[in-house]
Structure 1
Amino acid sequence: MQKQSVLKAMKSPGWLVAVSFALWLAAHSFFAFLFISFVVFSWIKRSIKSALKEENVEDAKAPAHAAVVQATADDNATHIKRQYAKSAVVVPLKTGTDG
């Protein structure tokens, strides 16, 4: 979404000027800010909805056995146990009262 906006701005300087002017106007006018916020919110909502729809279509086309193969591959993987060395930063305080 942002990559598309950048590519569009590089291809058309007029589009970049229009967006810059809209943002400048939104910075100076509360009603323009509300309108631009509404437009941006609806644009983001629409793009998320279309991305989810495309993802669902791709999931429907994917074969069912691919998920089973992935699950068995994860089960066969060896799990690495993290071992933390004793930190040199954490040392007991020597107050002189311990004896």
Structure 2
Amino acid sequence: MPKQLVFKAIKSPAWLVAVCFALWFAAHSFFAFLFVSFAVATWIKRSIKASLKEDKMEETKAPTAAVASPAPAEAKVTPIKRQYAKSAVVIPLKTGTDD
């Protein structure tokens, strides 16, 4: 919701003001709170449904793509060389004593 709120606020600041006013009014009125709660619950339910539908579509497309392009069995693999950066942790602290 915050992501969509930001995108809609960029497109139309009046929408952001309307949402803020609705939330302020819901904080002061029980019936407005019930209405806003119902609206938010409906919005969450729809977004979860859309997300599940999108995931289901991706699952049906993924196996066909994997079968269409099999990975070559004899692919050359180059080993990764590790590069260590100097860190403040490994540098001894200078305390001013000679011990």
Q: TM-score if structure 1 supplies the norm length?
A: 0.62
In structure 2, the residue corresponding to 1:44 is in which secondary structure?
Answer: helix
Residue of structure 2 equivalent to 1:33: 33
How many angstroms apart in 2 are the aligned matches of 1:42 and 1:28?
22
C-alpha root-mean-square deviation of aligned residues, in Å? 1.9
How many angstroms apart in 1 are the aligned matches of 2:42 and 2:23?
17
The runs of at least 4 consecutive aligned structure 1 residues that moved more than 3 Å come to none
Higher RCO (Cα < 8 Å, 6 or more apart): 1
Structure 2 stretches of 5 or more lacking a match?
67-99
Structure 1 stretches of 5 or more lacking a match?
67-99
**C-alpha contact (below 8 Å) 2:5/2:16 kept by paired residues:** no
Residue of structure 2 equivalent to 1:62: 62
Residue of structure 1 equivalent to 2:10: 10
C-alpha displacement at 1:2, in angstroms?
2.6
Q: TM-score if structure 2 supplies the norm length?
A: 0.62
Residue type matched to 1:5 in 2? L
C-alpha displacement at 1:4, in angstroms?
1.8
Cα displacement string for residues 34-87 of structure 1 (whole angstroms, at most 9, x for unaligned residues)? 000000000011001000001001001111795xxxxxxxxxxxxxxxxxxxxx
How many angstroms apart in 1 are the aligned matches of 2:65 and 2:23?
49
Identity level (%): 70
How many angstroms apart in 2 are the aligned matches of 1:65 and 1:42?
35
In structure 1, the residue corresponding to 2:26 is in which secondary structure?
Answer: helix
Equivalent residue pairs, number = 67
